[in-house]
Structure 1
Amino acid sequence: MSARLWRRGSRLLPEGATSGRAQPAMRIFGRWARGPLLPVLRLWRRNIQLRVVATTLLMSVAVVLVLGIVVMGQVRNGLLEAKRQTAISQADGGFAVAEDLANNAHDGSDPVSGQGITDPGSWMTGIVEQLASGGQGVYSVVALSSQLSSTSFTGEPGAAMRGPRASADIRPEESIPAELRQALDRDPATHRQYGTIVRPDGSSESALIVGRRLTDNDNGQYQLYYLFPFTQEEKSLSLVMGTIATAGIFLVVLLGAIAWVVVRQVVTPVRMAAGIAERLAAGRLKERMKVSGEDDIARLGESFNKMARNLQVKISQLEDLSRMQRRFVSDVSHELRTPLTTVRMAAEVIHEAREEFDPVTARSAELLLGQVERFESLLADLLEISRFDAGAASLEADHSDLRDVVHRVIEGAEPLAERKGSALLVRGAEAPVVAEVDARRIERVLRNLVVNAIEHGEGRDVVIRLAESGDGSAVALAVRDYGIGLGEGEAERVFNRFWRADPARARTTGGTGLGLSIAVEDARLHGGRLEAWGEPGGGAQFRLTLPKVAGGTLRGSPLPLEPGDARRRTVAIPAQGRGSAASGAAGGSGGSGPSGSVSTVEEDSGRGR
């Protein structure tokens, strides 16, 4: 089923796709956002001491916050309860005094001066002043008229004024909630409610309001309130909060410092061990950890040093064994040259006279000469490897046109290619490709690659490409076959000595398994590199990249490692014939996808295919 398409401007987009204009902006924003975070994330991943200390600080802050919230809640509840009890006790005492004064006022005496008085307004003012005289700054007293009173506090014409009374600079009617006044009109019992005291300047503060409906000296109903502001409680709560915050900050810093010191005592030996391990890996086998004390870290250091000593002994033994093996191979190879020369001379004499023998003996003479030549090739490879191992290989570099090297290799490999049914194709030979190389060694590398490509090419074409970088700093040769290819991970092992892609595969040209190992060493001797790519059933490609000047620095290769006709690429590109694909493979990227296998060898031990 074909995908649904949507038209956007002059372009058709698949369903669910968006225009690419927003994608660069999103990528730029993502890079901008990640930029400052990358160093922090890198430090976080690499520094265990930082992670432990940061985790300790975060957990300490969380604990301090939880404890602070709990303590502040307990303190607040305690202060409110104490305030409530004190306020109720104080208010009940004041209400009792007001009731006694009202009961005693029927004889006409003023509650303060004792003189005869009948004005309810003056009596109310005296009551408020008397009740508030002992609570300056602690509470305020307010008297308001009740809806049940027969005479309003505002009075009638000719009546005494009975407006709101207050003992402090507050707005009485705005400070007493309407619902509390209604509650007192319904029920004469004591009522309490949290409210807000409103000052004449417009400021306000929280308070506990306790009120009761009482009777005045004229048997009129009025409401008496005690207002207890939370000023002192708020100061106490602020003091407790500041103390807890100061103690919490000090505790967090102290715990962070303790964690830093403790973790440092553990991490420092680990870092020391990591540094010594890196130096051991670099070949400095005499490095040891400094051990002090008898704790776990000291035992770790002793175990590490013991491991290092054993490793040094084993490596020394292996190095001695390796030297003995290399010397043995070199000595045996040199010693075999003389008898092998004699055997070859005898084999050539017998081979030249084979026509005088019976068919069986003549065939034996041919086989004898072929095996002697194969033995000579093996002996030459062993001698060459021994020279590389001993560091005795030398480079005889001269300016050479790599096209001439390619033509010589093709002429030598054509008989094998004809027997296999493969065609040898050359791309990129239109212009000279000149570099300072040892032509003999490069020819040996290319011959090995071409012969391997023919051997594993399943009778298909073998393409040889030449190229020179645009800045003139490097040249490259690539050999591409379309045979069995390389499986996953095989491109990494293909340069190992004596390794074969398929040991059970029938081979017609013999081989020692040292060809690619020698080729790697030849490339390294030039300051270049030899790389391999392959995919199962899709063939393989080997790329030799050399600096234009022997020993120069390589910054890239003019040819891609992964060819343009690789299977992974042809999934999204219309299929082409093998010839056209080979001719266009010079472009593309040097990486490999998940279906392929890539290996780059610059300066490691010898490897072979």
Structure 2
Amino acid sequence: MSRLALGMPPGLRRGLTFWRRSIQARVVASTLVLSATVVGGVGWFLLQQTREGLLDQRVDAVVAEADTERADAETRLGSVPGTDVDATAQQAELIDPIIQRGLTRGFAVVLAGPIGENTGRIAQRGTRSSPGLDTGSVPTSLESHFQEPAATAWTYTTIRTLDSAGTELSEEPGIVVGTQVTLVADGGTYTLYFLFPLDEQQETLALVTRALLTAAVLLLVLVAGVTWLVTRQVVTPIRMARRVAERLAAGRLQERLRVTGEDDLARLATSFNQMASNLQRQIRQLEELSRVQHRFVSDVSHELRTPLTTVRMAGDVLYDARDDFDAVSSRAAELLQTELDRFETLLVDLLEISRFDAGAAVLDAEDINLVDVAHRVVEATRPLAEQRDVGVVVRAPDHPCLAEADARRIERVVRNLITNAIDHAETGRGEEIVVQVAGDDHAAAITVRDFGIGLGPGESALVFNRFWRADPARARTSGGTGLGLSISLEDSHLHGGWLQAWGRPGEGAQFRLTLPRRVNAPLRRSPLPLVPADAKEPVT
């Protein structure tokens, strides 16, 4: 888990964990997001079409009504005698009936003009209008259009109403239609502005919006429910298969899936059960073969002890009397003694391996100082190192590096690592084998660095295999059996520790043993690096 997740509240962290682990939740969520996107797009398109349809219908209606009012005004003006020159009275006779009709039909009217005079804003000059109407509701663009004689025009606006004190009471969207008439009294062209509110269209659009939102929510809930049910039919068998697989991995090899029906999931469950049965049979066969092999190794090792003891006694007699033999017989007695020593070591290692394989190895743990262990083993292997003309040095801190461990097993691991390094060291180069010890609050470690033939790519994992050699042509000067590193790996695992190897051809190798402070305590890092500081950077 990342540090960011650790810093989150527990509820959010549980939600993220559920999101990562539940394919059903992710499928439902992605389906809802896609459905919401589609429904939102379709709903927006329908609302736009409905809005445009309502507005177009309303525009056609108000323009037709404005034309009707203009035609009625022209008819009334046409019946006025030409001798009537009272423009103010004619304006009143023209606008008052329209204002009255507007109050009953729900529109307002403004009379402005004549054109060419009082060219300022309508709101800034004397006009006649419906009571309570803010004449500033007429847009400037439409006023500019009628500064000269022009045909009927319309535009959208915001209609504002005022109280008797001039305070704004309300505002609502509307349509303003402008048309011109000529007054008989002064021959001037006046502009009639009809302001029609869009409250009905707004209510209709709000009703349609609520209906679409309600339908969208219900549709999304339905889609979520259907998706949940559909995915559940697929995910439930998968979850059952996961649980059965976990039980199989835990060793309960008799677990099987329940098969119902004949569909694809049923056939999958059948195939899974067949696979589990085959695995169970093969695992049991391998376990039986392993038991036979372990028993064979153990029995052979024990049975060889008796003839080996007899041969050892005879070999000791011959070796002690070698001075009385001729040169060839004396050399044969020495070779026999050497090979008997190696054979006896091989039997001991085979018995130890058989105990590991049978799970019978036990620890005699106590607090030990790895610094003392390193010095003891180096002193014990110094004759072998001098024979190979190789120096061995120990680099350790002045303070103890303590760890709870089996002293016999850890000394055996360190001895195997050092003798292995001596076997593979290049003589005559003047480079020493370096044994380094370090520790921290959680772990203690020992590294053994040599400058021999090294390890090729992938060989750092093979080196712990039984009887494996990095260089098959190289003889074992220490009399090793080929099982030392395998036993060392098992010893480190028995302590809950690590035994790792690094190497490059021609640059030598380094082995690192890391032990927890307490047996089988969790290990997260080692006090010493696996790759030595003197290693060259790989060529890329």
TM range (shorter): 0.7 to 0.9
**CA-CA distance at 1:330 after TM superposition:** 1.4
Matched, 1:364 2:332: yes
Which residue among 219, 230, 241 is the counterpart of 1:273? 241
- Return the alpha-carbon distance in structure 2 between the equivalents of residues 422 and 232 of structure 1: 104
**CA-CA distance at 1:486 after TM superposition:** 4.3
Matched residue of 1:421: which SS? coil
Contact kept? 2:492, 2:499, Cα under 8 Å: no
**CA-CA distance at 1:103 after TM superposition:** 1.0
- Return the alpha-carbon distance in structure 2 between the equivalents of residues 557 and 265 of structure 1: 42
Contact kept? 2:353, 2:487, Cα under 8 Å: yes
| Residue-pair matches, total | 519
Matched, 1:336 2:304: yes
Residue deviations 1:372-413 (CA, integer Å, cap 9, x gap): 322222222111211222233344567877677556544542
- What is the aligned partner in structure 1 of residue 98 from structure 2? 131
Which residue among 493, 499, 509 is the counterpart of 1:539? 509
**CA-CA distance at 1:238 after TM superposition:** 1.6
**CA-CA distance at 1:289 after TM superposition:** 1.9
Matched, 1:164 2:127: yes
- Return the alpha-carbon distance in structure 1 between the equivalents of residues 139 and 400 of structure 2: 103
**CA-CA distance at 1:495 after TM superposition:** 3.0
**CA-CA distance at 1:226 after TM superposition:** 1.9
**CA-CA distance at 1:75 after TM superposition:** 1.0
Contact kept? 1:533, 1:561, Cα under 8 Å: no
Contact kept? 1:333, 1:382, Cα under 8 Å: yes
- Return the alpha-carbon distance in structure 2 between the equivalents of residues 210 and 80 of structure 1: 14
Matched, 1:60 2:40: no
- Return the alpha-carbon distance in structure 1 between the equivalents of residues 29 and 534 of structure 2: 50
- Return the alpha-carbon distance in structure 2 between the equivalents of residues 191 and 398 of structure 1: 103
In 2 relative to 1, CA 122–163 (structure 1 residues): closer, same or farther, beyond 3 Å?
Answer: farther
Question: 1:198 corresponds to which letter in structure 2?
Answer: R
Instruction: Point out where structure 1 has 5 or more consecutive residues left out of the alignment.
Output: 1-29, 109-116, 155-161, 572-593, 596-609
Contact kept? 1:291, 1:301, Cα under 8 Å: yes
Q: TM-score, normalised by structure 2?
A: 0.83
Contact kept? 1:410, 1:424, Cα under 8 Å: yes
Which residue among 194, 197, 218 is the counterpart of 2:156? 194
Contact kept? 1:528, 1:544, Cα under 8 Å: no
Question: 1:222 corresponds to which letter in structure 2?
Answer: Y
Note the 1:2-41 alignment, pairs <5 A. Answer: 35=8, 41=16
Matched, 1:499 2:468: yes
- Return the alpha-carbon distance in structure 1 between the equivalents of residues 107 and 418 of structure 2: 107
Question: 2:432 corresponds to which letter in structure 1?
Answer: D
- Return the alpha-carbon distance in structure 1 between the equivalents of residues 137 and 406 of structure 2: 105
In 2 relative to 1, CA 267–557 (structure 1 residues): closer, same or farther, beyond 3 Å?
Answer: closer
**CA-CA distance at 1:332 after TM superposition:** 1.7
In 2 relative to 1, CA 33–92 (structure 1 residues): closer, same or farther, beyond 3 Å?
Answer: farther
Q: TM-score, normalised by structure 1?
A: 0.75
Which residue among 332, 348, 357 is the counterpart of 2:316? 348
In 2 relative to 1, CA 465–141 (structure 1 residues): closer, same or farther, beyond 3 Å?
Answer: closer
Question: 2:448 corresponds to which letter in structure 1?
Answer: V
Question: 1:164 corresponds to which letter in structure 2?
Answer: T
In 2 relative to 1, CA 476–147 (structure 1 residues): closer, same or farther, beyond 3 Å?
Answer: closer
- What is the aligned partner in structure 1 of residue 488 from structure 2? 519
Residue deviations 1:277-297 (CA, integer Å, cap 9, x gap): 122112111122233232222
Residue deviations 1:396-454 (CA, integer Å, cap 9, x gap): 56787767755654454223211222122234486777877655434333321221121
Note the 1:362-401 alignment, pairs <5 A. Answer: 362-395=330-363
- What is the aligned partner in structure 1 of residue 137 from structure 2? 175
Matched residue of 1:222: which SS? strand
- Return the alpha-carbon distance in structure 2 between the equivalents of residues 81 and 437 of structure 1: 91
In 2 relative to 1, CA 191–394 (structure 1 residues): closer, same or farther, beyond 3 Å?
Answer: closer
Matched, 1:282 2:250: yes
Question: 2:22 corresponds to which letter in structure 1?
Answer: N
* Superposition CA RMSD, Å: 3.7
- What is the aligned partner in structure 1 of residue 22 from structure 2? 47
- Return the alpha-carbon distance in structure 2 between the equivalents of residues 257 and 521 of structure 1: 55
Note the 1:413-492 alignment, pairs <5 A. Answer: 413-428=381-396, 438-459=406-427, 460-465=431-436, 477-487=446-456, 489-492=458-461
- Return the alpha-carbon distance in structure 2 between the equivalents of residues 480 and 408 of structure 1: 17
**CA-CA distance at 1:46 after TM superposition:** 2.7
- Return the alpha-carbon distance in structure 1 between the equivalents of residues 498 and 315 of structure 2: 37
In 2 relative to 1, CA 296–134 (structure 1 residues): closer, same or farther, beyond 3 Å?
Answer: farther
Question: 1:499 corresponds to which letter in structure 2?
Answer: W
Matched residue of 1:509: which SS? coil
Matched residue of 2:217: which SS? helix
- What is the aligned partner in structure 2 of residue 211 from structure 1? 178
**CA-CA distance at 1:51 after TM superposition:** 1.8
Which residue among 272, 276, 281 is the counterpart of 1:304? 272
Matched residue of 2:381: which SS? helix
Contact kept? 1:476, 1:557, Cα under 8 Å: no
- Return the alpha-carbon distance in structure 2 between the equivalents of residues 238 and 328 of structure 1: 89
Residue deviations 1:37-85 (CA, integer Å, cap 9, x gap): 7665544333222222221122122112211221111111111110111
Contact kept? 1:486, 1:540, Cα under 8 Å: no
Which residue among 209, 213, 226 is the counterpart of 1:258? 226
- What is the aligned partner in structure 2 of residue 589 from structure 1? none
Question: 2:60 corresponds to which letter in structure 1?
Answer: Q
Residue deviations 1:205-256 (CA, integer Å, cap 9, x gap): 3322222221234244322222212121111112222222222222223222
Matched residue of 1:501: which SS? coil
Matched, 1:81 2:56: yes
Question: 1:562 corresponds to which letter in structure 2?
Answer: P
Question: 1:50 corresponds to which letter in structure 2?
Answer: A
